[in-house]
Amino acid sequence: MTGAPARRRGRPPGAESADTRDRILAAAREEFSERGYEKTSVRGIAKAAGVDSALVHHYFGTKDQVFEAAVELAFAPALNAEALAEVPFAEVGERLTRFIFGIWENPVTRAPLLAIVRSAVNNEAAAAVFRRLVVSQVMRRVAGRLDLPDAELRAELAAAQLVGCAMLRYVIKVEPLASADVEQIVRRVAPVVQGHLTGP
């Protein structure tokens, strides 16, 4: 394939392509979070990763699909682990709140999160990725554990508290919330999340 990087010697091909894939994803995260969905192009991502555009298409497909792969990383702990299913019912609010603040506080996962928030408010394709990842995957998993007729609405109102906190603290940076100790926020927010999920 034209422009594909030459194989370095002495490394198995699998490791090489995993490296390239990771480099493309890292570049994509950077581009999407800096520029937002609309202004990011597959060509720009390829350039930042030092590969040919064709290779980006080869690994991921369309821009939409690169975007989804790039932001999925942030949610991987929630998507892969069945951890949430084992959390005692009374602790699910705190566990979910800690998970969300944890991925926002971590610089590695903050970039894809900024990318998805900045992109989803302005672009329908990115909004669809947001709905699929955050709501269908993370929140419905939580809702699935609630044996209540309005479980999905409950999960979404809990998500609204967490999304709003992330917006004001990490994106718009409103003080004193932006600089407050994360523990102090978790202590106030976790009971609200729990209340939405399991309250009367």
What does the binding site for a second copy look like in residue numbers (CB under 8 A)?
Answer: 36, 117-118, 120-122, 127, 130-131, 135, 152-153, 156-157, 159-165, 167-169, 171-174, 176-177, 180, 184-185, 188-189, 192, 195-196
Min CB(62)–a second copy separation in Å:
21
Nearest approach in angstroms of CB 68 to a second copy is 15
Cβ-contact 113, 104 below 8 angstroms: yes
**Amino acid (1-letter code) at residue 110:** R
Tokens 């800690």 label which residue?
Answer: 98
What whole-number distance in Å separates Cα of residue 153 and Cα of residue 182?
Answer: 26
Q: Smaller CB distance to a second copy: residue 62 or 136? A: 136
Q: Which CB, 47 or 140, lies closer to a second copy? A: 140
By beta-carbon proximity to a second copy, the closer residue of 144 and 164 is 164
Residue 31 CB, nearest distance to a second copy (Å)? 14
Residue nearer to a second copy on the CB measure, 12 or 176 = 176
Torsion of CA 132, 135, 136, 140, to 10 degrees: 170
Containing 1, the helix (H) or strand (E) segment is none
Token pair 């709905």: residue:
131
